[in-house]
Structure 1
Amino acid sequence: MPKPDELLFALKTFTGAMLAFFISCWLGLDNPYWSMATAFIVANPYAGAMRSKAVYRFFGTLIGGTAAVVLVPNLVNAPVLLCIAMALWVAMCLYIALMDRSPRAYTFMLSGYTAGIIGFPSVTDPSHVFQTALTRCEEITLGIVCTTIIGTIILPRSIGPVLARRISSWVKPGVDWASAALAGDGESQAAREARRRLAFEATDTAMMVSQLAYDVSNMQSAVRQVTRLRMYVISLMPILSSIGQRVAELRRLDALTPKLKTVLAATDQWVQSGKADGADALLHDIQTLDHDTPDWGGLLRASLALRLEELVRISSHSRQLRRFVTEGAPPPPASPALDAEYIAITKQNRDHKLAFLSATSAAGAVLLVCALWIATGWAYGAGAAIMVAVACSFFAAQDDPAPAIAQMLRNAVIVIIGIFVYSFAILPRVVGFDELYLVLLPAGLMTGVLVSRPATFGTGMVIGAVGATQLGLGNGYHTSFVPFADSSFSLIVGLGSALILTRIVRSVGAAWSAERLMRANWRDVAAAAQAALPHDRAALTGIMMDRLGLMMPRLAAVASGADSAASGVLVDLRVGLNIIALHREQWRLPPEARRCCELIFDGIAAHYQGNARQPAPDALMHALDSAMAALMHDALAHRAALMVLSGLRSVLFPEAAPPIFQTHSQALVAE
């Protein structure tokens, strides 16, 4: 049974659609049903998401209409060229949309198939294409305005509290993982589960954050703070991974000093308290730890102390930010030094190959249907071409769009049956707008309820949009079976063609996409090793963690490999961050150590250009050991470089025996 809030949303959506239809009829617009269809397409249970989508749909319609006005009159006498131009426009817009990966991408996707919606039916009468484009923009704008106004002023549902709850849900997996890492159990089942959940939550909320600026809650002005909080959480993940591995290795070597054990216990207690208070005292204890043994255990303790300091600083600031966002507490003071040194920046992965494949398959499907249209002279061929462009664009971001297109085809058949009943059994008896509202209300409520549920959102949107356009209501009721059958057949042909072409050309598996994401990370690590100048550590963290967020649901859908994938990405990220730090330090090193660094860079680049799942070569471990041995004679002066080198050895060779430095050099101490 629908819940009260679902029924309220459905009623608001349907009322907005009917209001837009009424005004369109009153204004004498050509196709008032487009206003209805737009209302269902724009509808969203959350006011912020609906308002953002409304803005993007308006501009997408404007751009697509302009493209149709430019292309159709100039190429109408060359149908083949016109079809090629339309297909290329759809492909170009789709490619740009897939490169964006934000709500703004809807503008570009819509620009592509809107040109077809306006342009293809205008081929037979190009002299009116400008009027058609203008009318279509007016109809769509009416649908946008009506549904947005009603959704905003009548008991709007804010995305702010939902996002606040999602942010609060980060706390438990973060605390669980941190506690496990501090105990040296960073690879336990509980830690892996917490790591997977935290990675998913921190990356999955990116879309909600981008819609927050359009929200109606008091969190509308907190977009920058929420974004920073996400970046803090993402930046903590490689730090927790590093802490867990170092504590485990120190326990294995029996090299945990009593004072370090005390600090680890105090840090765990502070983490579980959930409070920002006490961070300064804990930092003081960490900074006064002694690392006075010039051996592998001393290096591990010193590097662990650095990671603990980063953990406390970032956690303290993120807790203050979280209280500001979720509880309205005073905002924390700015921390430019922290942001500049440790915090990731928002950087999204862009898969050019997959985007090009999607764009090419969409263009090919459009051209195939256009060829059928031209060859047969089918009067309703334009409808099939439109549906191909729409279907190939809607689901292009999925690894395998075919199941979604098949579901859309099944929904379309159901809609056609429902429209047949309405068109020939119910609507002929309707004589006024009030009666029309009442007879359409059950279908409108059902569609609105489907839209209100995340699991059936796409189904509801398709049923509402396709149903409104197939019903084809206008100022008067005129229908006959032949146009209805032709229109329905064009809908099925268009979706069926999109499904067949997608299965042949475009469908790829989730495992294939996950592998591409993993190899993209490897390429970035290899590029960081080969770079003449150090890469940006914040950008590297941002893009690799973004890829991790994309990988997690894919691997969870095909196998139990999400745990190992998360661990692998964090290992690769730690290698990349240490490489960047080593690039910065190598110019301060003596000649022998610099030569070793070049061998290290070449070895890591070769390892990641091949198959990084294989163990790193022993020659790379020898280069790391030689570089550290060359610096141990003056360990205090080269403390930062030694931390980096020990970090690389620890992450690349976690099971290797500890190195033995043949030196009686000055001890490594914390500053």
Structure 2
Amino acid sequence: MVYPTLRDWLFSVKTFAAAMIALYIGLWFELPRPYWAMATVYIVSNPFVGATRSKALYRALGTALGASAAVLLVPPFVESPYLFSVIVALWTGTLLYLAVSDRTARSYVFMLAGYTMPIIALPSVTNPAGVFDLAVSRTEEILVGIVCASVVGSVLLPSRLAPTIIERTDAWFRDAAFYATETLSGRIAGAQISGARQRLAGIINGLELLLSQLAYDHTRPDVVGRAHELRGRMQLFLPIMSSLADPLIALYNSGRQTWPEGLEALLNDVIKWFGQPLPAPSQGYHADETANALRARIAAMKPPAAALTSWDGALLSNALWRMQQVIDVWQDCCSLRVIITREQGSWRPHFRHWRLGGTARFYDRGIMLFSTGSAAAAVVLACSIWISSGWNDGAGAVTLAAVAVCFFAALDEPAPMVMRFFLATGISVVAAGIYLFAVLPHVHDFPMLVILFAAPFILVGTLIPRPQFNMATVLVAVNTATFISIQDAYDANFLVFMNSNLAGLAGLLYAYIWTRVTRPFGAELAASRLLRSSWADVALTASTLPIEDPRNLAARMLDRLMQLIPRLAATDDHRHPSIESFRDLRIAFNALDLRRLTRKLGGESPAEIANVLDGVRIYYEDCVNDRKRVTVPESLMASIDTALARVVSQGLANAAAPTATSSTSARLLRDALHALVGLRLSLFPATLVKPTPPESETAA
């Protein structure tokens, strides 16, 4: 068991102090529900001041938006309960859709507005004239909690978010170094490698939310920009390492006796370089002479044009080209880490590519619509049951059901988390009951109340910073504070307490059954849809259809891959979907490169490359239509080999008759060669023997 750290205790004490200040202010100003101010502190508090500030701001905006909607919609529709239920559900579903469409901290505005409206509106149906007062008081109570949490978090030993981002990236560096070492040693499969791949993708996905909160941490805009550049290069590291794996494995399997001179020593030195400790931030940004020496050795080993006529020569050229990209990306990541840690310094990027700079993200709109539509339908049905039953406390059941289905709508399988919500709420009901009927009758002043609250709330608060306990402990703290319903005078009724809280538990149990019935698919459905969407984009990259922004297309495909990897279980299978998905991405990137090159190349190469791209397009369209990965046709291998032969022969012809543009043409032809080799290795990873050139080329 890992005991709470000093930082955990400090966070818990600060949060409890802010909660007690908020409760005192609420009681002092005689707010109708001062306990909401206390509960709000636990909702918005975060160990890091930037995250607390962002969540506080967005909670204030979301509360104001939801309360305004309740004030506008309750009076005109309260006399039509079923129509009002549909309106509430449409509001909740629409705002929830906006929330899941935004993967930054800003999504909290829409999420909160989505379920705040029913929280205020539904209890007001019996007294529509009081909805405005209820909305205003709820907003005031929440604002008191927000201000207290923000001020205490910022003034009392604030903990900044930037060091935590560095801790997350350092964990990424450790896994990335292991992944690179295994790849450079010719190993791409295994449970450990697959697990590292999943952790790398998980860290990258988690950084997206943290970086959106970094601007609230008093971090300079240029440092925030560097952090986003670091995450972008971290995303590219995995596919580039994957691109390096296949040519290296092909060279490994061709036999050590045929290896080019110096390649094994180069690989060993690159592995040692990856194993070096990360540069200390105190050193500042400096040139990495080892990386420069490795790049010089790679340039010296680059095979001449004549050597590219052999398959081994083409493999070596491709492997060296990819290896330099890996070195460039890794050095950029190390340099950016130092700059972010020191919050100062400039740098010169080594990795420059047209794919950098895309901002598009992938969203499965079908799954999102189904998830939010399911939440809206749950609200409609819950309202209908409440209306038809005439249950006085039914509003509490509907509101907690709405909160539960909104909270976990973005998950592939929300039912287990809703059950945890139910259990945490049950614990809160018991704790609140003990306090309300056994403890509070003996409390006669506020200091005594603080003393009696201190031990359990501070103890629970130490678990909030831990991801595995965060949801349950926050719910216990928030619900316990809410269910006790502290007022300026003790007035507890056991029957009222039981009826209202059993209604909430009934609503959560209903939400669990609803999500279990309507969303039983799990990660398998999401993974299969991501795969089919990926295949459709690969077909697009190989087609002749115009692509509005190739950078954003590449960014969207990369983002989708980062979403797919965590959904695939770790395995030691060489044909694991995560490995094949990396190959799909590499095929798309190589196809985009070939599309760009064919507009610049002359001679017969563009026509042969067009045949290859057409074959790639047809294959992936077949995968999409059959809804499964089909066998790659052998004719596509022949087309790639023909195109390779044309590109090499054109390069030899240019070398024999040099012109003013020969150097540019040679570079373009070598880039085309690398893309074609990458396509062949990705589409036919099992064929590691030397390809047979067409008869016409052999005769020539």
Is 1:465 aligned to residue 497 of structure 2? no
Residue 225 (str. 1) matches residue 226 (str. 2): yes
Distance in 2, Cα, partners of 1:560 & 1:354? 30
Tell me: CA distance 1:84–1:643, structure 2 relative to 1, closer, same or farther (3 Å): same
Q: What amino acid maps onto 2:512 in structure 1?
A: L
**Residues 560 and 344 from structure 1, CA distance in 2 versus in 1: closer, same or farther, beyond 3 angstroms?**
farther
1:606 corresponds in structure 2 to 621
Match among 245, 249, 261 for residue 258 of structure 1: 261
Q: For residues 518 and 598 of structure 1, what CA distance do their matches in structure 2 show?
A: 20
**Deviation of the 1:340 alpha carbon:** 4.3
Q: How much does 1:626 deviate?
A: 2.3
**Cα distance, 1:344–1:522 mapped onto 2, change above 3 Å:** farther
Q: Whole-Å Cα distance in 1 between the matches of residues 525 and 22 of structure 2?
A: 44
Does residue 330 (structure 1) correspond to residue 361 (structure 2)? The answer is no
Alignment correspondent of 1:586: 598
Aligned to 2:22: 20
CA contact (8 A) 1:344 1:541 kept: no
Distance change in 2, residues 1:103/1:191 (3 Å):
same
**1:582 maps to amino acid:** L
Q: CA deviation at 1:111?
A: 0.5
Is contact 2:540–2:617 with CA below 8 Å preserved after alignment?
A: no
CA distance in 2, matches of 1:562, 1:197: 19
Q: Which residue number corresponds to residue 617 of structure 1? A: 633
Give 1:645's match in structure 2, choosing from 630, 654, 676. 676
Amino acid at match of 1:570: F
Question: CA shift at 1:325, angstroms?
Answer: 2.0
Q: Does 1:654 align with 2:696?
A: no
Query: Is 1:303 aligned with 2:318?
Result: yes
1:378 aligns with 2:391: yes
The answer to whether the aligner puts 1:549 opposite 2:580 as a matched pair is no
Aligned length: 662
Q: How far did 1:594 drift?
A: 5.1
CA contact 1:527–1:605 (8 Å) conserved in 2:
no
From the superposition, tell whether residues 342 and 191 of structure 1 become closer, same or farther in structure 2 (CA, over 3 Å).
farther
1:60 equivalent in structure 2: 62
1:626 aligned residue: 642
Q: TM-score if structure 2 supplies the norm length?
A: 0.88
CA distance in structure 2 between the partners assigned to 1:550 and 1:48 by the alignment: 26
Equivalent of 1:31, from 30, 33, 43?
33
Cα distance, 1:19–1:240 mapped onto 2, change above 3 Å: same
Could you tell me which residue of structure 1 aligns to residue 657 of structure 2?
A: none
Q: CA deviation at 1:176?
A: 2.9
| TM-fit CA distance, 1:221 | 5.8
> TM-score scaled to structure 1, two decimals?
0.91
Secondary structure in 1 matching 2:391? coil
Structure 2 Cα separation of the partners of residues 191 and 378 of structure 1? 56
Select which of 503, 519, 540 maps to 1:506.
519
Over 3 Å counting, the alpha-carbon distance change for 1:593 and 1:14 in structure 2 is: same
Q: Is the 8 A contact 1:213 1:221 kept in 2?
A: no
- Pair 17,648 (structure 1): closer, same or farther in 2 beyond 3 Å: same
Match of 1:516 among 529, 533, 554: 529
Is this contact kept in 2: 1:61–1:111, CA < 8 A?
yes
Q: CA deviation at 1:569?
A: 2.0
1:573 aligned to which of 569, 576, 585: 585
Q: Distance in 2 between matches of 1:428 and 1:5?
A: 35
Gaps in structure 1 of 5+ consecutive residues? 667-671
Identity, in percent, stands at 33
Question: The residue matched to 1:398 in structure 2 has which SS?
Answer: coil
Distance change (3 Å), C-alpha of 1:314 and 1:412? closer
1:234 alignment counterpart: 235
Residue in 1 aligned with 2:658? Answer: none
Quick check: 2:623–2:630 contact (8 Å CA) kept in 1? Answer: no
- Relative distance call for 1:508 and 1:305 in structure 2 (3 A) is same
Letter in 2 for 1:644: A
Q: 1:611 to 1:362 in 2, by over 3 A?
A: closer
1: distance between equivalents of 2:564 and 2:14?
A: 37
Structure-2 change in CA distance of 1:352 and 1:606 (3 Å):
closer
CA distance in 1, matches of 2:572, 2:243: 23
- Contact preservation (8 Å) 1:295, 1:660: no
CA contact (8 A) 2:397 2:508 kept: yes
Asked if residue 352 in structure 1 is aligned to residue 354 in structure 2, the reply is no
What secondary structure sits across from 1:632 in the alignment? Answer: helix
| In structure 1, distance between residues paired with 2:573 and 2:153 | 42
For residues 200-253 of structure 1, the C-alpha deviation after alignment (integer angstroms, 9 at most, x for no partner) is: 33333322222222226x688622112211211221222211222112212333
Aligned to 1:669: none
Note the C-alpha offset of 1:580: 0.6
Cα drift, residue 573 of structure 1:
0.9
Displacement after TM superposition at 1:387 (Å): 0.7
1:282 aligns to what?
294
**Structure 2 CA distance for partners of 1:64 and 1:531, relative to 1, 3 Å:** farther
The residue aligned with 2:576 is: 564
| Cα distance per residue 1:515-554 (max 9 Å; x no partner) | 2222222222122223523575543443344334333443
Aligned counterpart, 2:660: none
- Contact 1:296–1:660 (Cα < 8 Å) also in 2: no
Q: Which deviates further from its counterpart, 576-585 or 408-417?
A: 408-417
Q: Offset at 1:339? A: 4.2
Partner Cα distance (1:408, 1:515) in 2: 28
Deviation for aligned residue 1:69: 1.4
Among 77, 80, 83, the alignment partner of 2:79 is 77
- Provide the secondary structure at the position in 1 that maps to 2:428: helix
Contact 1:160 1:219 in 2 (8 A): no
Contact 1:362-1:393 within 8 A present in 2 as well: yes
2:464 is aligned, of 435, 438, 451, to 451
- Contact 1:391/1:405 (CA < 8 Å) preserved in 2? yes
1:441 counterpart SS class: helix
Moved more, 160-169 or 388-397: 160-169
Residue 282 of structure 2 corresponds to none
The CA RMSD measured in Å over matched residues stands at: 2.7
Query: 1:437 & 1:608 partners in 2: Cα distance?
Result: 64
| Contact 2:400–2:508 (CA under 8 A) maintained in structure 1 | yes
SS at match of 2:568: helix
- Partner Cα separation in structure 1 for residue 196 and residue 459 of structure 2: 38
Query: For residues 417 and 178 of structure 1, do their structure 2 counterparts lie closer, same or farther at Cα, with a shift above 3 Å needed?
Result: closer
- CA deviation after TM superposition for structure 1 residue 145, in Å: 0.8
